[in-house]
């Protein structure tokens, strides 16, 4: 199933291939808990940026593996390159057009203790 998504203002838009019933992950790390990001992690081949490459601003910290991308117009982080899956993308479920989503299964990840728990997240692949 192909899902459409975008930032709040629409300057950055994308398409992601994922099941109609999405397995989403809520994380309690400092970044996710502050922004309300809900993860849909997909391989790089399942993600296509459709517009707004020139509107994206990138922030990284700590190991600088994760590339947190934001729309420079509205500030919304609709997707990014996660440290856990550097060859893929994490799409913010909150930024998807819900017309193609038939359901969402939520699970929780203890990202506040990332190093101790990362294997549990990678096991979901």
- Domain containing residue 52: CATH number: 2.170.150.70
Looking at the 3D structure of the chain, how many domains does it have?
1
Q: Which of 21, 2, 1 is nearest to 105 (CA)?
A: 21
Confirm whether 20 is domain-assigned: yes
Confidence grade of residue 124 (pLDDT, cut at 50, 70, 90) = low
pLDDT of amino acid 115: 85
Confirm whether 102 is domain-assigned: yes
pLDDT of 123 over the 70 cut = no
Tell me how long the chain is. Answer: 125
Label residues 75-97 b or e (16+ Cβ within 10 Å = b). Answer: ebbbbbbbbbbeebbbbbbbbbe
Instruction: Domain of residue 37: give its range.
Output: 2-111
Residue 12 vs residues 44, 55, 63, 106, 107: alpha-carbon distances, Å: 17, 7, 26, 25, 27
Confirm whether 116 is domain-assigned: no
Confirm whether 120 is domain-assigned: no
Backbone phi, then psi, for 44, in 5-degree steps?
-55, -35
Q: Which of 73, 74, 83, 71 is nearest to 31 (CA)?
A: 83
Q: Which of 78, 93, 69 is nearest to 18 (CA)?
A: 93
Confirm whether 97 is domain-assigned: yes
Confirm whether 45 is domain-assigned: yes
Spatial CB neighbours of 107, under 8 Å, sequence gap ≥ 6: 23, 24, 25, 26, 124
Confidence grade of residue 125 (pLDDT, cut at 50, 70, 90) = low
pLDDT of amino acid 120: 82
Confirm whether 117 is domain-assigned: no
Distance CA 15, CA 124 (A): 22
């Amino acid at each position: 199933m192909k899902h459409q998504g975008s930032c709040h203002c629409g300057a950055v838009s994308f398409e992601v291939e994922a099941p109609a019933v999405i397995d989403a992950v809520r994380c309690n790390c400092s970044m996710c808990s502050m922004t309300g990001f809900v993860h849909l992690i997909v391989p790089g081949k399942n993600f296509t940026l459709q517009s707004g490459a020139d509107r994206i601003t990138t922030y990284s910290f700590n190991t600088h593996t994760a590339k947190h991308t934001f729309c420079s117009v509205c500030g919304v982080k609709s997707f990014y390159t996660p440290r856990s899956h550097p060859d893929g993308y994490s799409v913010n479920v909150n930024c998807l057009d819900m017309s193609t989503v038939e359901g969402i299964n939520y699970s929780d990840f203890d990202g506040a203790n990332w190093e101790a728990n990362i294997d549990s997240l990678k096991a979901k692949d």
